[in-house]
Structure 1
């Protein structure tokens, strides 16, 4: 019986593990399998060592609690957290992009504002959370404002880097063609800065959620942060982990949507 072989692979040559897998499939399968192995190790460790649930519940117990309380309780608290995180992210992204554009367009504005923006970002954020409550009250406004404050800075830095790092030869070509500063900014700098801008926005997705959760820790009667704080007071460790799982799921979806928006925009602009 004849056999066929790849002419590019010499006999006796070791074939790298996973070489036949599509890159997209590898990007999905490898982290998924790793996570499943870690969960299985966690489950086995808790059962073998008989670790009390109040210290570290098994993944199966967390899943049972998540199924049991998702609709009557967890979803009710997830809605305000998700809504406020989205609002904070959108506002911080808009402010960050606009400020980066202003800093890139004017040297005077950059010298006046950028050092102060960096200075305020060096202040420990958690120390400022009570001040936002004093200024804006205990409602959602203080949580959203605090979340915007900590999440817009990555967008500013990343977008500004993209606007500034355009190929100098391309800028000289635009100057030779007598393109105006606005035309260069719109047609050259902005398209070039899109990958940088979305890199900052991906970081801002995490920061916006963190800002809302910190605000809910300080003062709130609803939200996943409040639910985690309440469950910790009652030593409901399984409920704490269930809320964290929902937060992680939302964070992954949130990040994925931003990545999809980036892919769509870059394809549309042909970058």
Structure 2
């Protein structure tokens, strides 16, 4: 019969190597988020200190605290101005996505189209786009269509190049196997080429979403009577530096949110195709 008075032996401690690996894994997961936040916080703190110590006038460079206060005061109004900027950015990005992927498929599928179109696409990409912005205003007027069109003009090229790279980087042996089993045309694209091109396509989309917003802001600088680009230009004319930075901060937040949506869509697409 066992001795019930004998105290049970304490649980064996986990191996030291296991605890160290767990801590290292936690640090590896936190580091990609903590380092950028810490760096940004240090830059903002240094900015605040320099402005206060050097007594820099607000009309030249406002302190981050002044920018934050101005942003809080004008946030409802700036959010109203952000609506047309965001909608036009999303519209330009969506059109450039459809146009860029369609052109890449056409260039990949047809040698004649590749020889006829791709050099011209590259040529138009080399043109200084800012210099062409007034032409879009003359052709399409001062409304939203000119800004969306200019946004598409500067953002579709990364989608074309990235998609074309992905569609043409498929293993040749796999394509030969498709031909051997009788797979042709669109089925090869949907079952082989597009799954292989997903990482490349989203690399282009990440660039395109930033270019789309740049195109809209440039258009708002020229013609708009609303939007965050217009607010930046208006605040500059009034020497409202804090309002300029507040508008830029809100633009950065919107841009990060749109970029994050693209990243989430990429994660779903990679999971869907097993990458």
Which residue matches 2:36?
A: 31
Larger Rg: 2
Bigger mean CA offset, 19-28 vs 29-38 = 19-28
Please list every run of 5 or more consecutive structure 1 residues that lacks an aligned counterpart in the other structure.
Answer: 10-14
After TM superposition, the structure 1 = structure 2 runs for residues 1-271 of structure 1, keeping only pairs within 5 Å, are: 6-7=16-17, 19-71=24-76, 73-271=77-275
Question: Could you tell which deviates more after superposition, 23-32 or 58-67?
Answer: 23-32
Aligned residues: 263
- Structure 1 residue 33: deviation in Å? 1.0
Q: What's the TM-score, normalizing by structure 1?
A: 0.92
What is the CA RMSD across the aligned residues, in angstroms?
Answer: 1.8
Length-normalised TM-score, structure 2: 0.91
Q: Summarize deviations over 1:154-187 as a string: whole Å, max 9, x none.
A: 0000000000001122122222323223322220
Between the aligned partners of 1:114 and 1:161, the Cα distance in structure 2 is: 13
How far apart are residue 24 of structure 1 and its match?
A: 3.3
Instruction: Report the Cα distance in structure 2 between the residues aligned to 1:51 and 1:94, rounded to whole angstroms.
Output: 48
Q: Secondary structure at 1:21's aligned position in 2?
A: helix
Q: Would the alpha carbon gap of residues 139 and 49 (structure 1) be closer, same or farther in structure 2, given more than 3 Å must change? A: same
Residues 51 and 3 (structure 1), Cα distance of their counterparts in 2 relative to 1, 3 Å cut: farther
Pair 7,121 (structure 1): closer, same or farther in 2 beyond 3 Å:
closer
* Aligned residue in 2 for 1:12: none
How far 1:29 sits from its partner (Å)?
1.1
